[in-house]
């Protein structure tokens, strides 16, 4: 067995790289259990399940346009300010940003903080705008 591994070391290196990429992908998407939702699904969840929208963009980005009733908690403050969201722990929380990357990280942070129903808005506010959904300025 060891002779095979030594003779084909490049295959095992490739396996390690692919495994690492899969793990990194899971972490960047908010970890296991974090769902992505489309803009249309988000609207349904907001309307029928009284979900909470948390926008993790910076305040100046938020001021330039955001989803109605969104709470602005910049990504760098999510861990420290997660206590502010404890009153919404029983409701779905939809995290959004400009494109979906920062919100994926924030979703993972909130899941680690004990929030069970955290969803990432796929495509972020860009997708929301593309779906011609309303933005508050």
Q: Which positions are annotated as active-site residues?
A: 97
The answer to whether 91 touches 52, Cβ cutoff 8 Å, is yes
Q: How far is CA 1 from CA 9, 73, 115, in A?
A: 12, 53, 45
Q: Provide the 10 A C-beta neighbour count for residue 11.
A: 11
Helix %, strand %, coil % of the chain (to 5): 55, 15, 30
**Pairing between strand 93-96 and 35-37?**
unpaired
Closest CA to 119 of 60, 62, 40: 40
Residues 6+ apart with CB under 8 A from 65: 125, 135, 136, 137
């Amino acid at each position: 067995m060891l002779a095979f591994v030594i003779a084909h070391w490049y295959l095992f290196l490739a396996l390690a790289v692919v495994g690492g990429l899969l793990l990194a992908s899971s972490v960047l998407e908010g970890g296991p259990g974090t769902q992505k939702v489309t803009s249309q699904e988000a609207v349904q969840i907001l309307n029928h399940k009284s979900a909470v929208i948390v926008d993790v963009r910076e305040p100046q980005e938020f001021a330039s346009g955001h989803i109605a009733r969104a709470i602005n908690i910049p990504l760098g403050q999510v861990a420290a300010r997660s206590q502010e969201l404890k009153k919404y722990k029983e409701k779905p929380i939809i995290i959004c940003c400009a494109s979906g990357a920062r919100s994926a990280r924030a979703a993972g942070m909130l899941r680690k903080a004990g929030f069970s129903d955290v969803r990432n808005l796929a495509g972020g506010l860009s997708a929301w705008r593309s779906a011609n959904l309303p933005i508050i300025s």
